[in-house]
Amino acid sequence: MKTLDEFKKFILKGNVIDLSTGVIIGAAFTSIVTAFTKGIVEPLLALAGGGPQPKLTIPIMHKLVEVTEKNEAGQNVTHTVNKLIELDIGSIIGAIISFLITAAIVFFVIVKPMNKLMALADRNKPEEAPSPEPADIKLLTEIRDLLKNK
């Protein structure tokens, strides 16, 4: 029962709610970034690459692969095909660009304004008065000073 109570306390903490809200908003925001990347960034990359879709790959090796297809008579026919294995650098660059766009938007739309609001809230908050010294510390300080003077 103690574990269940501990779990309830963990789930009902504000941090968990904030985090789950952030994940949901982030997932929704992904579609905006994807649309921006596909609608604006990829066409600009295509202009630079000269084709409709820039394919930035690095060939690694050729590999013989067996492929099974149906012929005109409906029978399965197996034959060997020479397949090129390559690294797709273009998709990695696209993912990095997408990440940087997401990070920039989150920073300038959420983090920076939130930091300004927090700074304004801190500036408008009255300063706390220093807490009074406890009586026993004051008394011990006086005793120490008296002993020094003797």
Spatial distance between the Cα atoms of 12 and 58, rounded to a whole number of angstroms = 50
Residue 22: inside a domain: yes
Please tell me the predicted confidence (pLDDT) of residue 130. Answer: 64
Structural domain contains residue 67: no
Measured distance CA(28)–CA(35) in Å, rounded:
12
- As a whole number, mean pLDDT of residues 106-115 equals 83
Give the residue numbers spanning the domain of 42: 2-55+88-126
The answer to whether residue 48 is domain-embedded is yes
Query: Which pTM does this prediction carry?
Result: 0.44
C-alpha closest to that of 60 among 35, 88, 81: 88
Confidence class for position 103, pLDDT limits 50, 70, 90: confident
Angle at 109 between CA 29 and CA 101, to 5 degrees: 55
Distance (Å, rounded) from C-alpha 91 to C-alpha 35?
Answer: 15
Number of independent structural domains in the chain: 1
